[in-house]
Chain A
């Protein structure tokens, strides 16, 4: 028996050692889209550390993580993530939930990641569906509460703040969360929080202060590659301020800067920049130019639900006068079918 116990222990030890040697975690960096394979050895709010197969360790800032795949994660998880990326949020949510139910492994990282992905999908869907905001905010709040040291924590906090800010009642809490992020040591997220605070100010009608907040983000982002997203979002906020102050032409110029400069991966910012351009064109009484701007969102960024719903709404109003009533009807049908709970669908 004694020998048997020792043998069993040996076998377990061997298995663990072997696992650690062949662990196949994968992190893809945002900055160069390079996938790095190895074993995740440390995870904090600010970074993850991955031990490469040559024994070297590399620390990656959370702001520079494009995606993570854990060794042994269910293969259907990547399909669900693909659905999420393509804007099929309902399908993605269904798959995540199914995977969570069916997962029998003991890797806690995967379970945590699943709960984050579910919460994130709910938040993204709720941005175009006010009725689902409360549930989405709760899911993200729960994740944050239970995973304070997870590498997703800052991202979760920003998403939580974003969904809370959709309703006037949640704006104070959103502000608190954003201030928390503004004190963190990850530049990209810190600046992103600055963007969202600016948006809050703008929503409150304080476009001057909002403009200051956005300009601060833009100047602080400098040439930091991990702050690129925040920089373009800051520019977008700046454009919104200009538009709200009546400086329509300047706002259009900002939108065009974003459109020319932002990379394809910034699809959300790009979509919103086109929407802003369309809005400006409507303000200038240039309906065909507005239609064309919204059409970019419909054709190129249908995976960004809130912007797409808004663009479809405007297209449904603009196609008709341009002589294409069938396309107006089509836009309206897509809007009501794809985003039935969006405020734009009930307009």
Chain B
């Protein structure tokens, strides 16, 4: 092995030059050079080996361990475990190996190493782990042998292999039994009751011991089950062993019904029933497991396996329900694409293939239907046969069988032309299948339609790939270009956008000479695919995709600078740079769109929106983190001024083109609303009102109206959020001009828009007011700030006086507005106290109204916050305690309670800090329903460990911040210096270990921790040094591991427990807690707004997600969607501000509600199918593939575009 590695390093093949000289190879060279040197005392041998293993460098890890074994001076503690480490490495290497001989060789070597370790270290602390590993290893080998028996036909040969497998299982059983007894004794050695609050570490130790014990128990039952598999089907031995196994699994499940081991045991119990032909009982259990709502990785695997087993049952002769199998398998595979190549994923696909073959068998079936079933079955079997495993052989056999059954019609093309022609002939059917899918009336039809489309796309893609592989030097270059182009389209439709980018960029650059039209058309696929890749990427990891869009656009500009695509490319580049937070660059590209381009107006508006978004982002950043560096005020003013100029210019041209008697379109409305926002910022309320209301029935406010009772779409100018924003801006302007009656009318409109969410709108309004006041305070414009406060006070007074006493909504608005005024009056304690008092009183009044209903707890939270700000801590705690007494799982109430206690500690009662951190105790010393920061951190950590993408991640960061912050605040009031220092030191350690463990922490949160870290150092009298940030590159892999490190460094002892069930339960209850409130949207909004800090406070008047209302390529709405193909699945607009649901301009009809009876002349476009249309292959069947440019080429014109961008079809089409 060693020699091999060296050979590969230094004498490797010529074709592989250079690739070995990677970091890894260089490291190994170092290792090699140092190979015979004595080990340095500080060489982290075991950590290094673990790191290599973690990255899959098993060969290097084994080489390194072998070298260390020959060295002198190795620490004896390390030397003792080298065989163990080698065994572990070889076991993992073997398990990962796809070559059977290599696998067997490595597993055998692993066994030898582990045996060697055990014989020399029988009492070592790792002995039990080594035993378990050994048992699992034997088990793995036995399973491989059992698989093998499936292929053996003669009974005698089979019996020999079965015997061999049985012997391995029996040996494994011996080892598992010993581990079981040892772990059971260890587990039973712990006390039955452990107080979590007093002895959290002991509790964790017991949980670990329990898990080990259950795992060993489960392995024993698995031994019984697998032993059963070593007997032939139908034999008495098999039956008896299965009965015994099911009893053993049942005992485990009965003992632990919700633990992961218990659930796995339940699954296996059902499997035993199934194998005993008790299908009904097995199905009952599978169904129960499939109902679990958890999305945790373990549960997804368990549910996937349960689904696979269920389908086997349904496919069994007793049930023979192939229709249901096809339906369920199709749905599952569509919903779990990423799991499709797991063992259970392939199993499900295999069951589907079998069901499809069965479904083709009825004699009365029309021939085309039969052939369809057979073709589906063959495609799926081919897919299964690609992967090693138990299904490969039977799947290969099925493929051969079905090829024969399908006869000549499936005869494989033997040359480029025939492969291309066949694929070309299938292109049109893509649209038919797509149409059928869009017309599906229920889930089953949709699943079937999707399956048919997927299968068809797969076959077309296969044929096109085949055609490319069969091309000859003298093949028609035009046809080759079109093959690549069509394949790009198919890959895009299949959801493989990067493949599509590869093909399309190649076509557009390399095939220009051979087929300019196709090359030009490929630009559309390239751009759409790049956008689709961007949309598919994780929101926090899109740098590559953003650059990709930029690269594609630049290529298009370079290749086709004068084409309409160039205009679109410039627009997209503008969007890319806007996303990257580079408004100057964004604007540069927008403004490069020439005035002859149909998208010129859109470009001006987009440029204006880009400046405005940059300004609002800067304001939001300043509000979220005032200590962050901001651009100079003059520059910010210029951004805003330029935004206004460009928007006014764009709006002017658009209005002129549109005329007075036409409803403005999406883009124009969005621009007017942004302008209203700018004008409100400048205190030009009258102009703002003018922007929004002038034009009567063709005004902006009228343009966003929908018919009474018509649901608003999720996005666009008709969306609730956009309409609400528009009315809030109008209301704000009316308050500014003291137009009481008009404002009350606007409030009515706002309430109508809000529906059940009206409270959310008021809360938002309050927040915006708060931000406005803060911004004015920051800018030093106290005069304007006082004016705003006065005008609102005056307005509130009038509304209060004129309100109907039972008008819940008005009262709510008043409360929220006072609250906003209070929050926005930082630095003016007297004014703030007055506002908090009035807000508190109004909330109290609200609580007495019956309408409070489900919003009661949310109002209580607000009230508590008012009381806390008023330093009426006792009252605040009482209010929040009421919520927690009803439901301790209310996360926001827990946060509020801990914040009350922290503030209380800092303002008069220092001992409250202890309660804030650890949670208050009752008089008898028992924990209460208030958890405190430590327990909050621990519970949130469990959720985040289970699901790194959890929505609770930011709350976890927040809790960790508050925990350390509370320690610092406590130290600030502590009179005992030693105690204060201890708290500060603990806080430092907490922060340091936390950021080490959670490397993907976002920049804003990290900056907060960094500042706190440096402040604490200063408090300790040290020179502050910045917090060390570890690269997040390997974070995903490292976090779980690092959690252990973090936990170890955590003085509160909040180590993550190995109890997914607990965490699941907590999550479930937590969500439940929120949902109880969630009946009223108010609760949710308040809950959101209660969170600190708000990273993205918005400035009224801007689209919080600008492109959401700024279709951004509005010219496209006027017809710039490229011809022939409609990229529905890959939105033509990369929604760079975060609203991924925005559709391509020009497809606005899909999001537009039914038209109002009063009509208007806004373009609609209803009825257009949403799915992407396939390109038309060039030429007619039978003709040569390519056609001259301008002919009936590969693509056809889209329907004539409508709307302000022009109504003429583009040239070049028929």
Binding site for B on A (CB under 8 A): 28, 33, 35, 66-67, 79, 82, 85-88, 127, 130, 162, 165-168, 171, 196, 199-200, 202-205, 237, 240-241, 243-244, 264-265, 272, 275-276, 279, 282-283, 285-286, 288-289, 291-292, 295-296, 299-300, 302-303, 306-307, 310, 317, 321, 323-327, 329-330, 332-334, 336-337, 340, 343, 345-347
- Indicate whether A167 sits within 8 Å of B469 (C-beta atoms), given known contacts A240-B17, A286-B544, A326-B337: no
Looking at the assembled complex, report how far the CB atom of B334 sits from the nearest CB atom of chain A, in whole angstroms: 13
The reply to whether A200 and B473 contact each other, CB–CB distance below 8 Å, is: no
Most A-side CB within 10 Å, residue of B14, B388, B472, B538: B14
The reply to whether A306 and B18 contact each other, CB–CB distance below 8 Å, is: no
Q: Which of B7, B18, B59, B536 contacts A202 (CB 8 A)?
A: B18
Write 19 A-B pairs (CB below 8 A) sorted by A numbering. Answer: A35-B474, A87-B469, A88-B469, A127-B13, A202-B17, A203-B12, A237-B17, A243-B18, A272-B15, A275-B19, A276-B18, A288-B544, A295-B499, A300-B502, A323-B536, A323-B537, A326-B341, A334-B386, A336-B99
Looking at the assembled complex, report how far the CB atom of A293 sits from the nearest CB atom of chain B, in whole angstroms: 10
- Nearest residue (CB) in B for A325 is B338
- Indicate whether A166 sits within 8 Å of B13 (C-beta atoms), given known contacts A28-B473, A264-B510: yes
The reply to whether A199 and B17 contact each other, CB–CB distance below 8 Å, is: yes
The reply to whether A346 and B97 contact each other, CB–CB distance below 8 Å, is: yes
The reply to whether B18 and A82 contact each other, CB–CB distance below 8 Å, is: no
Q: Which of B8, B18, B341, B473 contacts A329 (CB 8 A)?
A: B341
The reply to whether A324 and B338 contact each other, CB–CB distance below 8 Å, is: yes
- Chain B, range 459-504, C-beta contacts under 8 Å to A: 469-474, 496, 498-499, 501-503
The reply to whether B386 and A162 contact each other, CB–CB distance below 8 Å, is: no
The reply to whether B22 and A283 contact each other, CB–CB distance below 8 Å, is: yes
Complex Cα distance, B62 from A17, in Å, reads: 72
| 10 nearest A-B residue pairs (beta carbon) | A168-B11, A329-B341, A288-B544, A240-B18, A166-B13, A86-B469, A306-B15, A333-B386, A326-B341, A299-B502
A295 neighbours in B (Cβ, 8 Å): 498-499, 502
What is the number of residues of chain B that contact chain A, defined by CB distance less than 8 Å?
56
Complex Cα distance, B472 from A85, in Å, reads: 8
The reply to whether B341 and A325 contact each other, CB–CB distance below 8 Å, is: yes
B1036 lies within 8 A of chain A by Cβ: yes
B7 neighbours in A (Cβ, 8 Å): 168
Complex Cα distance, B471 from A168, in Å, reads: 37
The reply to whether B502 and A346 contact each other, CB–CB distance below 8 Å, is: no
- Indicate whether A86 sits within 8 Å of B470 (C-beta atoms), given known contacts A326-B338, A333-B387: yes
B386 neighbours in A (Cβ, 8 Å): 330, 333-334, 337
B1033 lies within 8 A of chain A by Cβ: yes
- Nearest residue (CB) in A for B11 is A168
- Indicate whether A300 sits within 8 Å of B506 (C-beta atoms), given known contacts A66-B473, A86-B469, A307-B15: yes
Most A-side CB within 10 Å, residue of B19, B499, B506: B19
The reply to whether A279 and B22 contact each other, CB–CB distance below 8 Å, is: yes
Looking at the assembled complex, report how far the CB atom of B107 sits from the nearest CB atom of chain A, in whole angstroms: 15
B982 neighbours in A (Cβ, 8 Å): none
Complex Cα distance, B498 from A283, in Å, reads: 21
The reply to whether A292 and B544 contact each other, CB–CB distance below 8 Å, is: yes
Known contacts A300-B502, A306-B13, A310-B19, then 9 further A-B pairs from the complex at CB < 8 Å, ordered by chain A residue: A166-B13, A203-B10, A237-B17, A289-B544, A295-B499, A327-B496, A332-B98, A333-B341, A346-B102
B1048 neighbours in A (Cβ, 8 Å): none
- Chain B, range 412-428, C-beta contacts under 8 Å to A: 414-415
Looking at the assembled complex, report how far the CB atom of A201 sits from the nearest CB atom of chain B, in whole angstroms: 10
Complex Cα distance, B471 from A86, in Å, reads: 8
B1033 neighbours in A (Cβ, 8 Å): 285
Looking at the assembled complex, report how far the CB atom of B6 sits from the nearest CB atom of chain A, in whole angstroms: 10
Q: Which of B338, B496, B501 contacts A323 (CB 8 A)?
A: B338
Q: Mark B639-654, 1 if CB is under 8 A from A, else 0.
A: 0000000000000000
- Nearest residue (CB) in B for A165 is B14
B548 lies within 8 A of chain A by Cβ: yes
Looking at the assembled complex, report how far the CB atom of B297 sits from the nearest CB atom of chain A, in whole angstroms: 11
Complex Cα distance, B548 from A284, in Å, reads: 17
- Indicate whether A330 sits within 8 Å of B99 (C-beta atoms), given known contacts A167-B11, A244-B21: no
Looking at the assembled complex, report how far the CB atom of A26 sits from the nearest CB atom of chain B, in whole angstroms: 11
The reply to whether B387 and A310 contact each other, CB–CB distance below 8 Å, is: no
Looking at the assembled complex, report how far the CB atom of B1080 sits from the nearest CB atom of chain A, in whole angstroms: 36
A329 neighbours in B (Cβ, 8 Å): 341-342, 387
- Chain B, range 515-556, C-beta contacts under 8 Å to A: 536-538, 543-545, 548
B1064 lies within 8 A of chain A by Cβ: no
Looking at the assembled complex, report how far the CB atom of A78 sits from the nearest CB atom of chain B, in whole angstroms: 8
Q: Which of A33, A67, A237, A296 contacts B502 (CB 8 A)?
A: A296
B31 lies within 8 A of chain A by Cβ: no
B543 neighbours in A (Cβ, 8 Å): 288
Looking at the assembled complex, report how far the CB atom of B482 sits from the nearest CB atom of chain A, in whole angstroms: 15
Complex Cα distance, B99 from A240, in Å, reads: 31
The reply to whether B498 and A292 contact each other, CB–CB distance below 8 Å, is: yes
Complex Cα distance, B472 from A28, in Å, reads: 13
- Indicate whether A200 sits within 8 Å of B499 (C-beta atoms), given known contacts A283-B23, A288-B544, A332-B98: no
The reply to whether B338 and A317 contact each other, CB–CB distance below 8 Å, is: no
A165 neighbours in B (Cβ, 8 Å): 13-14
B21 neighbours in A (Cβ, 8 Å): 243-244
Complex Cα distance, B323 from A214, in Å, reads: 64
- Nearest residue (CB) in A for B488 is A299
Looking at the assembled complex, report how far the CB atom of B27 sits from the nearest CB atom of chain A, in whole angstroms: 13
A317 neighbours in B (Cβ, 8 Å): 56
Looking at the assembled complex, report how far the CB atom of B420 sits from the nearest CB atom of chain A, in whole angstroms: 14
Complex Cα distance, B13 from A228, in Å, reads: 24
Looking at the assembled complex, report how far the CB atom of B16 sits from the nearest CB atom of chain A, in whole angstroms: 7
- Indicate whether A199 sits within 8 Å of B14 (C-beta atoms), given known contacts A86-B469, A345-B98: yes
Complex Cα distance, B503 from A147, in Å, reads: 42
B1071 lies within 8 A of chain A by Cβ: no
Q: Which of B8, B470, B472 contacts A343 (CB 8 A)?
A: B8
B340 lies within 8 A of chain A by Cβ: yes
Most A-side CB within 10 Å, residue of B7, B414, B472, B536: B472
- Nearest residue (CB) in B for A264 is B510
- Indicate whether A168 sits within 8 Å of B10 (C-beta atoms), given known contacts A244-B21, A326-B340: yes
B102 neighbours in A (Cβ, 8 Å): 346
B161 lies within 8 A of chain A by Cβ: no
B888 lies within 8 A of chain A by Cβ: no
B776 lies within 8 A of chain A by Cβ: no
Looking at the assembled complex, report how far the CB atom of A173 sits from the nearest CB atom of chain B, in whole angstroms: 13
B112 neighbours in A (Cβ, 8 Å): none
- Indicate whether A82 sits within 8 Å of B11 (C-beta atoms), given known contacts A199-B17, A288-B544, A325-B338: no
A310 neighbours in B (Cβ, 8 Å): 16, 19
A332 neighbours in B (Cβ, 8 Å): 98
A299 neighbours in B (Cβ, 8 Å): 499, 502-503
B1045 lies within 8 A of chain A by Cβ: no
Looking at the assembled complex, report how far the CB atom of B1115 sits from the nearest CB atom of chain A, in whole angstroms: 30
B339 neighbours in A (Cβ, 8 Å): 325-326
The reply to whether A282 and B22 contact each other, CB–CB distance below 8 Å, is: yes
The reply to whether A279 and B19 contact each other, CB–CB distance below 8 Å, is: yes
A347 neighbours in B (Cβ, 8 Å): 59
Looking at the assembled complex, report how far the CB atom of B303 sits from the nearest CB atom of chain A, in whole angstroms: 17
B496 neighbours in A (Cβ, 8 Å): 327
Complex Cα distance, B21 from A274, in Å, reads: 17
Complex Cα distance, B544 from A292, in Å, reads: 10
- Nearest residue (CB) in B for A35 is B474
Complex Cα distance, B397 from A8, in Å, reads: 59
Complex Cα distance, B338 from A46, in Å, reads: 55
Complex Cα distance, B382 from A337, in Å, reads: 13
Looking at the assembled complex, report how far the CB atom of B141 sits from the nearest CB atom of chain A, in whole angstroms: 19
Looking at the assembled complex, report how far the CB atom of A233 sits from the nearest CB atom of chain B, in whole angstroms: 11
Complex Cα distance, B416 from A82, in Å, reads: 10
Complex Cα distance, B339 from A295, in Å, reads: 21
- Indicate whether A82 sits within 8 Å of B472 (C-beta atoms), given known contacts A285-B1033, A324-B338, A333-B387: yes
Complex Cα distance, B499 from A35, in Å, reads: 35
- Indicate whether A203 sits within 8 Å of B502 (C-beta atoms), given known contacts A264-B510, A337-B386, A340-B99: no
